[in-house]
């Protein structure tokens, strides 16, 4: 899944704001009925004229492509683009069916509103301002609100598939009922209400349920959830893609609401019905400016309890967090994630300056090497302070301790800050590395007990990182500098006794990420550093250059002298591309 589901606090309100803009678009088209002629109502040309008028009235906020059908419905729009405060929303293949005569009763009745794909692109530093009111002069009923896939702009895969819900409003409050959407982590269901008048009281309940396969931690992709890019628009014989998918789900995970409910509550899922299923329930109350959220999770060898205070419109939306989790396996939520069995504890509260401060601790009862699809650490804890209200943004980790189980340990302090518009941090970091065993991190690497330091320092003009590790005659050294759009490896050394690999290089931070690297091998034996490589004694000079984007490419020039490979003499020169 590309990207994060909630990149900043404003996204919660952006969703509601976006819907109101979309509703205005549709309402403008539909209310043209009231003063239009039969040509406007019944002809394709009438729809085209109404679309042109809407685009003109929106002053560039809304653009509509490929309008087909009639104002009386049904109608389809190939694409709808909405620009709002720097954010960009694009709906693909929007279809609408509505009941015109319901307007006589001051009700906008829409049996089905569906978009095959919704694409999101949020401006980096955009802000969200609440309107004075969300009230409507009529009642609203969208019986089937459907979105086939939701993705970030230019992301290869959607992060959500087959969203369905019912939306109602009496003009004074909105009700979202029977919400169901499929994520990589499982099926999310829920319901909620939002008042249309300030301060916009909000209440919501949701439930995330993994299916039995994902909960077992197998990482299988043979999940009954929708395949990305498929399902959207599969309506053969009047059966929607979500209905087909529901038939293949275990009964306890069926996306159909309970017949006894009728109110759209999140369906109750029994862990005993679906062995090893993992359930996380959420309750939220408050307003868009201040929310109290409670999370509870249950599952086989898993529990979760959390309370959070959120300010979704603020730059730093998380204001306080108390969290306790046991038996958390990242692979239960993301099939491609490494396996682990984590116990988490966090107690974060605002300090006198409004920063989020407190303690974090993570224990891993199933530490494993990276090549075994695991996480190699057994414990990590620190005193954290996060200040993200205004630039420069700052993260401080004091008394940071990282235990790598058989792989060693790291201890130190991190104090980083990001000025407005800067990607790379400034500040300082100093970590002491103790008995680092690369072989315990990955079986292909050499066994050792490396000790040393990793340091970082940076200001507005340059940043520098240095690594110096040693275990007797074995040494690893590196120096990385960033200055003026250039990332330079000014020193790289991998040595064991008289055997050395040394070199230097750089990467330009331009569109293609042009790179170059040159170095020297002296009595170098790659088998001393990477297991399963052949024994050798290499003496060579080499140089390489190329680019990273749009795809990795490069040229290598080398000259070997007085070398041996598996005991056989080796010499020569060459150019590779």
> How far is it, in rounded angstroms, from Cα 335 to Cα 215?
10
Predicted pLDDT at 165:
96
- 3-class state of residue 525 by DSSP: coil
Query: From the CB of residue 47, how many other CB atoms can be counted at a distance below 10 Å?
Result: 25
Q: Which residue has the tokens 């290499």?
A: 538
Which pLDDT tens digit goes with each residue over 272-288?
Answer: 344 447 899 999 999 99
**Number of DSSP helices (H) and strands (E) in the chain, helices first:** 6, 29
**Please, are residues 485 and 506 in contact by the beta-carbon 8 Å criterion?**
no
Q: Tell me the per-residue pLDDT of 122-171, one tens digit each, with 9 for 90 and over.
A: 776 666 778 889 998 899 999 999 999 999 887 778 989 999 999 999 99
Rounded to two decimals, the pTM is 0.69
Task: Give per-residue pLDDT as tens, 415-451.
Answer: 999 887 777 789 999 999 999 999 899 988 888 999 9
Judge contact between 377 and 370, C-beta under 8 A: no
Whole-number Å distance between alpha carbons of 476 and 495: 7
Q: How confident is the model over 330-362, as pLDDT tens digits?
A: 888 777 889 999 999 999 999 988 889 999 999
pLDDT of 405 strictly over 90: no
Dig out the tokens for 194 from the structure.
Answer: 């939002």
Torsion of CA 365, 368, 373, 374, to 10 degrees: 40
Written as six digits, the tokens of 549 are 């984007």
* pLDDT of res. 19: 56
Q: Which of 453, 467, 447, 440 is nearest to 377 (CA)?
A: 440
**Which of 82, 87, 180, 171 has the alpha carbon at shortest distance from 133?**
171
Which residue, 66, 75, 64, is CA-closest to 42?
Answer: 75
Q: 543-571 as b/e, with b when 16 or more CB fall inside 10 Å?
A: ebbbbeeeeeeeeeebebeebbeeeeebe
Using pLDDT thresholds of 50, 70 and 90, give the confidence band for residue 2. Answer: very low
* pLDDT value at residue 419: 86
The tokens of 429 are what?
């970091």
Q: What is the pLDDT of residues 174-232, one digit of tens each?
A: 999 999 999 888 899 999 999 999 999 999 999 999 864 433 333 333 344 444 334 33
The half-sphere exposure of 215 on its side-chain side, counting CA atoms within 13 A, is 22
The answer on pLDDT for 389 being more than 60 is: yes
pLDDT of residue 357: 95
Distance of CA 213 to the CA centre of its chain: 22
In the chain, the percentage of residues whose pLDDT exceeds 70 is 79
Tell me the pLDDT band of 18, cut-offs 50, 70 and 90.
low
Average pLDDT over residues 310-323: 89
Contacting residues for 487 by C-beta, under 8 A, at least 6 apart: 480, 481, 506, 507, 508, 509
Section 406-418 average pLDDT: 92
| Helical pair 44-57 and 11-31, crossing angle rounded to 10 deg | 130
Whether the Cβ atoms of residue 171 and residue 142 lie closer than 8 Å to each other = no
pLDDT tens track for 529-547:
887 889 999 999 999 999 9
Mean pLDDT, the chain, whole residue set: 80
299 pLDDT band, cuts 50/70/90, is confident
Residue 55, pLDDT above cutoff 80:
no
Percent of the chain with pLDDT over 90: 46
């Amino acid at each position: 899944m590309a990207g994060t589901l909630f990149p900043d606090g404003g996204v919660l309100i952006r969703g509601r704001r976006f819907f109101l803009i979309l509703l205005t678009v549709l309402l403008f088209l539909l209310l043209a009925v009231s003063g239009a002629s039969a040509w406007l109502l019944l002809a394709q040309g009438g729809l085209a004229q109404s679309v042109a008028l809407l685009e003109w009235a929106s002053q560039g906020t809304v653009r509509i492509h490929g309008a087909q059908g009639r104002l009386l419905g049904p109608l389809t729009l190939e694409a709808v683009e909405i620009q709002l405060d720097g954010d960009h929303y694009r709906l693909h293949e929007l279809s609408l069916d509505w009941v015109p005569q319901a307007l006589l009763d001051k009700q906008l009745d829409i049996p089905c509103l569906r978009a095959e794909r919704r694409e999101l692109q949020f401006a980096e530093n955009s802000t969200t301002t609440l309107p004075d009111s969300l009230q409507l002069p009529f009642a609203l009923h969208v019986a089937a609100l459907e979105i086939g896939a939701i993705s970030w702009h230019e992301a290869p895969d959607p992060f959500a598939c087959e969203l369905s819900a019912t939306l109602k409003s009496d003009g004074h409050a909105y009700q979202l009922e029977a919400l169901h959407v499929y994520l990589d982590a499982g099926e999310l269901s829920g319901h909620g209400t939002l008042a249309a008048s300030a301060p916009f009281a909000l209440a919501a309940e949701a439930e995330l349920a993994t299916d039995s396969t994902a909960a077992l931690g197998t990482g299988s992709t043979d999940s009954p959830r929708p395949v990305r890019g498929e399902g959207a628009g599969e309506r053969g014989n009047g059966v929607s893609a979500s209905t087909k998918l529901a038939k293949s789900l275990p009964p306890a995970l069926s996306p159909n609401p309970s017949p006894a409910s009728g109110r759209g509550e999140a369906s109750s899922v029994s862990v005993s019905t679906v062995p090893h299923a993992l359930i996380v329930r959420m309750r939220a109350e408050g307003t868009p400016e201040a929310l109290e959220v409670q999370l509870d999770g249950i599952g086989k060898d898993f529990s979760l309890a959390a309370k959070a205070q959120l300010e979704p419109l603020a730059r730093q939306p998380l204001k306080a967090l108390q969290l306790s989790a046991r038996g958390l396996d990242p692979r239960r939520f993301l099939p491609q994630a490494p396996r682990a069995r984590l116990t988490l504890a966090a107690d974060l509260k605002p300090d006198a300056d409004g920063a989020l401060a407190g303690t974090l601790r993570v224990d891993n009862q199933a530490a494993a090497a990276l090549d075994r699809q695991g996480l190699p650490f057994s414990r990590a804890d620190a005193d954290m302070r996060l200040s993200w209200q205004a630039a420069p943004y700052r993260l401080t980790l004091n008394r940071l301790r990282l235990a790598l189980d058989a792989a060693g340990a790291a201890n130190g302090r991190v104090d980083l800050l990001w000025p407005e518009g800067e990607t790379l941090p400034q500040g300082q970091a100093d970590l002491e590395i103790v008995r680092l065993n690369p072989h315990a991190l990955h079986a292909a690497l050499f066994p050792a007990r490396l000790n040393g330091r990793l340091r970082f320092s940076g200001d507005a003009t340059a940043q520098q990182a240095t690594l110096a590790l040693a275990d007797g005659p074995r040494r690893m050294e590196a120096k990385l500098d960033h200055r003026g759009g250039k990332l330079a490896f000014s020193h790289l050394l991998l040595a064991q006794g008289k055997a050395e690999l040394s070199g230097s290089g750089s990467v330009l931070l331009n569109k293609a990420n042009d790179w170059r690297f040159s170095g020297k091998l002296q009595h170098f034996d790659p088998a001393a550093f990477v297991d399963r490589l052949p024994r050798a004694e290499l003496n060579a000079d080499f140089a390489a250059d190329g680019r990273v984007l749009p795809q990795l490419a490069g040229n290598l020039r080398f000259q070997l002298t007085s070398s041996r490979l598996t005991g056989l003499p080796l010499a020569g020169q060459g150019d590779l591309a």
